[in-house]
Amino acid sequence: MDRRRILRLSAITALGLALLPGSAIAQQRTLKEQLVGTWSLVSVETVRKDGTKVPFVEGPDIKGIQIFTDKHFSFQVISNFPKLASGNRLNTTPEENKAVAHGVQSYFGTYTVNEAERSWTSHTIRGSQPNQNGTETKRTITSIGSTELRYSTPLASGNTNIFVWKRED
């Protein structure tokens, strides 16, 4: 082979490798760039400090979505609870109030990423749990790829929430 043909073949091979989704070159995006997008909940569990597992929210058929923009995030995990008897969210029974309070975790705000620690910290503006408003919570990313995000959130109580998400966009 002549020199030009070898160079051309080498360039084409390098370009092809760079475009492969699993290649090291394709994965050189920052952690923040990898977070940006829409993620659907695959699983979540809360592990108590004694190792026992409890539900993150109460109720069946738990669904969740998490959205990251370049500055903001939005997080919702909601179980499927019975419809309100009155059909009006302002006219509920104590049992319905409890089902909603125990079956919804929702909040939004801004976030920062620590590339060195492989973590992100939420700065909650407003949430369904008022004690979260104005707080910061650090999450440790255990793995992130083109289609899956896993992280854990150690809590002040000693419990840890463990999340698995799949990319939707």
3-class SS string, 16-31: HHHHCCCCCCCCCCCH
Q: Is the pLDDT of residue 21 over 60?
A: no
Query: Mind listing the pLDDT tens digit for each residue in 131-140?
Result: 999 999 999 9
CATH for 78: 2.40.128.280
Domain assignment present for 97: yes
Domain assignment present for 113: yes
| Residue 3, token pair as written in the block | 């020199």
Cα–Cα distance between 154 and 117 in angstroms, integer?
14
Domain assignment present for 18: no
Supply the pLDDT for residue 15: 46
Closest among 44, 111, 99, 120 to 76, alpha carbons compared = 44
Count of domains observed in the chain: 1
Half-sphere exposure of 122 (CA within 13 A, CB side): 27
DSSP type of residue 79: -
Domain assignment present for 3: no
pTM, full prediction: 0.80
Domain assignment present for 87: yes
- Give the residue numbers spanning the domain of 81: 29-167
Domain assignment present for 76: yes
Domain assignment present for 47: yes
pLDDT tier at 13 (50, 70, 90 boundaries)?
low
